[in-house]
């Protein structure tokens, strides 16, 4: 169950990074709505990470959380923020996914 909580925490990390991107692109009241969504997503992500680390090893949990956030944010950037796509970017995203999955399998919790 804590692995599921950790994955959800990682998805909220992607959400707060996406909100940060929208804050950069907008102005006025729309910017404040995105900033509020950023704060809410950040809070939920951190609370879920804290919950997951109550039973999972902190090093593994933090690495998986960060990995989910990094991969999700990179993919979000490609699809929604027009970040560049090239062989090496895709290669390293796949490598990161492999590392996150590997950490899950070698964890003894």
pLDDT score for 101? 87
Predicted local distance difference test score (pLDDT) of residue 109: 55
Supply angle C-alpha 84, 61, 77, rounded to 5. Answer: 15
d(CA 82, CA 85): 9
- Please count the helices (runs of H) and the strands (runs of E) in the chain: 4, 0
How many domains does the chain fold into? Answer: 1
Q: What is the pLDDT of residue 62?
A: 94
For the chain, the first-to-last Cα distance in angstroms comes to 11
Residue 7, number of CB atoms within 10 A of its CB = 17
**Contacts of 67 by beta carbon, 8 Å cutoff, 6+ apart:** 10, 96, 97, 99, 100, 103
The whole-number pLDDT of residue 106 equals: 86
Could you list the mean pLDDT of each consecutive 10-residue stretch along the chain, which spans 109 residues?
A: 95 96 93 97 98 93 94 93 94 93 79
Listed in sequence order, the DSSP H helices in 53-82 are 58-80
pLDDT of res. 27: 94
The pLDDT tens digits of the residues spanning 24-51 come to: 999 999 999 999 999 999 999 999 999 9
Range of the domain at 95: 2-106
């Amino acid at each position: 169950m804590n692995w599921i909580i950790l994955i959800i925490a990682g998805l909220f990390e992607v959400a707060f990074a996406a909100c940060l991107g929208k804050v950069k692109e907008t102005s006025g009241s729309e910017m404040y709505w995105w900033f509020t969504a950023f704060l809410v997503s950040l809070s939920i992500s951190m609370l879920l990470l804290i919950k997951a680390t109550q039973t999972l090893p902190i090093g593994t949990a933090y690495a998986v959380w960060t990995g989910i956030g990094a991969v999700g944010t990179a993919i979000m950037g490609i699809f929604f923020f027009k970040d560049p796509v090239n062989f090496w970017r895709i290669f390293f995203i796949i490598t990161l996914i492999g590392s996150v999955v590997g950490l899950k399998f070698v964890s003894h919790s």
